[in-house]
Structure 1
Amino acid sequence: MPAVYSTQQKSAITQFISFTQLDRNTAIRALKSHGWDAQTAVNAHYGSGGGASTGSPAAKANLTKLFDRYASAADKNIIDAEGTMKYFQDTDVDVEGLESLAALEIVQAPTMGEMSRDGFVNGWQERNCETVDKQKAYIKNLKREMPGDKELFTRVYKYTFSIAKIPDSKGVALDAAIVYWGLLFSGPLSAVKWTSSNTPWLEWWTEFLNSSWKRSVNKDMWNETLKFAQLTLTDESLGFWNEESSWPSVIDDFVDWVKNEKRGGDKQAEVMDEEY
């Protein structure tokens, strides 16, 4: 009797084959060895010699040549905004989508819309993707994985701060932070959608910041917002929060605002506690 695979396992098989172009039986063996995690299995396949060696001089030469195709005429060690747009077109990356941030995280872009030679070569060499076709396939697979991969989401989220912040400063301008939060917390590829049937958290957060916060967003506030968002999705009553917790003051103020401005004191919170 043929083996019966779950919908998730069938999806993993399809993803593995799509990226590696290997046969179904090889895909199944690889996925079984890695807990049916398609991304891990693909990385292990290439890392173990199924593709070009990470340290291959030929792979590095190919990546260097590929970088030159998009490099700025003014600075050959930089792919500028125009070159990045062309590269995104060639790899099917939506510049306004969450995958653009994931792609820039791979190459550790120093700023939004710009890539360095070392970051590009090293980032793709580590993933054994020395051609546009392989990079395109890798990103395609990444897009499939992102909605269910909170570890990947967290990595992209934390990295985004570095490209979103104001040059030569320690913070992200509030208006820019709100735009990025909108993309990260509400995009179709997001693994952490900050809203629920009972509470439009992201909408409230944005409303509160626009009315009550006048400063830029520092790294601590950026990272703690993700932590706070995840907790609110598991405990909408905000039972995890207390005055002794070491949250940034802006989050403490937001909690007070939610309780008093949106929930009419503690009445709605009590109802939600009963629901839990």
Structure 2
Amino acid sequence: MVDKKMDENIQHFCAITGASARDAKKFLEYHGRLDVAADAYFNNPNAFASSSSKAARPSAPSTSKLNQLFDKYKDGGGDEISIDGTIRLCEDLEVDPEDVVMLAVAYELKSPKVGEWARAGWVEGWKALGVDSLPAIKGLVDKLRSKLSNDPQYFGKVYAHTFQFAKTEGARSVGTETAIAFWGLLLPVGLKGGALSHVIEEDDGKMDTGDEGFKDEYIQWWFEFLTEKGLKGVSKDTWMMLRDFIRTIDSKFETYDAEAAWPSTIDDFVEYARNRLES
């Protein structure tokens, strides 16, 4: 039974990392858990290599391979990957272009805007993640999706980048419909996986609390409120503070401090939500 479980984990490990079965077994035997072993591999794939095999392996992902991969998807007459190339990339990765994980990829590769990738960001981003081939990238996608869902700090980084990524050049705000579309991708994932889990402030830092906090249904309330309000754009302040609001508000909006430095849009939403709870 143990051997069968190990064999299954080795197969999963190889699929995620692109490593050999031999390396997979070494990492799994040492670290025990599949997710921990995979993380360790991405951080240092040569950890269990002998000195001779280390010398035979490249010390870093190949810049040449990544440039070739970029050329496969870039525009014919330019030096960037645009919407068409992005769609082809997603097809090869077997990922929907509107999958939330693509926002994590956009953050990692410093994508300037929706569906566009610059060569420098592409090469340096994938190198930093330790991959230089399509199979390896494909295996990494699930890891990024999981990290986005359950890691509050990582979620925050992707969330912040998404505002810059979503707004048009020169604009100071994101159109409300566009903001709602991106929130519709990010917020459910963060709530489900724990990246937006409810916390309260204590003297020694943030602590988990028993209150369930912001509920899934409140996401739709937020969207309906913005639509009814007729807000044309969402400021960076509102975008960034919403994440903190979701993580700290209680499920009945009773602990909200109207005297704190919340954006007026969030002040108004709390009143809107309280009225809905009472009706």
- How much has 1:11 moved relative to structure 2? 9.5
- Report the CA distance shift for 1:197/1:141 in structure 2 as closer, same or farther (over 3 A): closer
The answer to whether structure 1 residue 215 and structure 2 residue 232 are counterparts is yes
Which amino acid counterpart does residue 42 of structure 1 have in structure 2?
A: Y
CA distances 1:206-255 after superposition (whole Å, capped 9, x unpaired)? 111111142311222111111111223xx212243212211111111111
Q: Distance in 2 between matches of 1:114 and 1:127?
A: 19
Aligned to 1:63: 66
Residue 64 of structure 1 and its aligned partner are, at CA, apart by 1.1
Instruction: Tell me how far 1:148 sits from its aligned partner.
Output: 2.8
* Aligned twin of 1:92: 94
Normalising by structure 2, what TM-score?
Answer: 0.77
Which one is further off, 142-151 or 184-193?
Answer: 184-193
- What is the CA distance between 1:66 and its match in structure 2? 1.4
Code of the aligned partner of 1:251: I
Amino acid aligned to 1:44: N
Question: Does the aligned pair in 2 maintain the 1:15–1:141 contact within 8 Å?
Answer: no
Aligned match of 2:28 = 28
The CA deviation string for residues 113-166 of structure 1, in whole angstroms up to 9 with x for no partner, is: 000000000000112211111111111333344433333322222211111112
2:277 to 237, 259, 263: 263
Q: Distance in 2 between matches of 1:37 and 1:242?
A: 40
Contact 2:66 2:132 in 1 (8 A): yes
| Structure 1 residue aligned with 2:82 | 80
- Figure out how many residues of one structure are paired with residues of the other and give that number: 253
Instruction: Give the secondary-structure state (helix, strand or coil) at the position aligned to 2:45.
Output: helix
Tell me the C-alpha RMSD between the 2 structures: 3.4
Per-residue deviation, 1:61: 1.2
Counterpart residue identity of residue 249, structure 1: S
Q: Please give the alpha-carbon distance, in whole angstroms, between the structure 1 residues aligned to 2:9 and 2:241.
A: 33
1:66–1:180: structure 2 CA closer, same or farther, 3 Å change rule?
same
Judged with a 3 Å threshold, the aligned counterparts in structure 2 of structure 1 residues 182 and 118 are, in CA distance, closer, same or farther, namely same
- CA–CA separation in structure 1 for the residues paired with 2:214 and 2:163: 29
TM-score of the superposition, structure 1-length normalised? Answer: 0.78
Q: Match for residue 274 of structure 1?
A: none
- State the Cα deviation string for residues 43-65 of structure 1 (Å, max 9, x = none): 212386877423x6xx1111112
The 8 Å contact of residues 63 and 131 in structure 1, kept in 2 or not, is answered as yes
TM-aligned CA distance change 1:64 to 1:223, over 3 Å:
same
Cα distance change on mapping 1:69 and 1:186 into 2, 3 Å: same
Whole-Å Cα distance in 2 between the matches of residues 188 and 241 of structure 1?
21
**SS in structure 2 opposite 1:129?**
coil
SS of the residue aligned with 1:96? Answer: coil
- Does 2:256 match 1:241? yes
